[in-house]
Chain A
Amino acid sequence: QKEVEQNSGPLSVPEGAIASLNCTYSDRGSQSFFWYRQYSGKSPELIMSIYSNGDKEDGRFTAQLNKASQYVSLLIRDSQPSDSATYLCALILTGGGNKLTFGTGTQLKVEL
């Protein structure tokens, strides 16, 4: 089982809809989880971090964490064409120190 799993997509949503991006992980001891956004040909940028079970909201973005189910999600409300990108889920493995382990990413396409 991969340490971090994401559906590669593409996930297509209409403009204004809610985009839901999902990530599962295998290391039950992981405590820190992150979402990065990567535009085509560009470098990733951190958009959300979450450490506790529940929801964390930042503007149009909401990160959700369920440690019992080993599941992290990112919701994007009122999706815009500028949100079209690949979203990478990342975490720090137990004993991983300060190294991030990334999933393969989900490509999101927001259509007009």
Chain B
Amino acid sequence: DGGITQSPKYLFRKEGQNVTLSCEQNLNHDAMYWYRQDPGQGLRLIYYSQIVNDFQKGDIAEGYSVSREKKESFPLTVTSAQKNPTAFYLCASSTPQGAHTGELFFGEGSRLTVL
């Protein structure tokens, strides 16, 4: 079955540690996105990538890094520079046409808690 797989689903981190969230898709989508969601908040865009080996900062990129070495994969690293990393992280993908129709396909999310 085609879809987006995020792992891990739950992750605990000590302050000062970097963590990497995995996002893999087998939908053959060109565009991939990382969003962050805090309680009572909407989704805020962290980074996005429209093609392999290229990515752009979103609205809240500080303290995060990404790579796009393969079309299927778009991992997100939460660095120690991110001051408030506890949140629900959502990865999404779309076709170029799908992006304009708002049709983002989301993974099930990764919930990061900093201890």
Contacts and interface: CB of A to CB of B under 8 A. Distances in A.
A102 B102 contact: no
A98 B50 contact: yes
B90 A43 contact: yes
Interface of B: 31, 33, 35, 40-45, 48, 50, 58, 90, 94, 96, 99-104, 106-109
Contacts, number: 59
Chain B interface secondary structure, helix, strand, loop or mixed?
mixed
Given A43-B107, A98-B50, A99-B48, A104 B42 contact: yes
A92 B100 contact: yes
B66 to A, nearest CB: 15
Interface residues of A, number: 24
Interface in A90-107: 90, 92, 97-105
A46 interface: yes
A43 B104 CA distance: 11
A6 B69 CA distance: 37
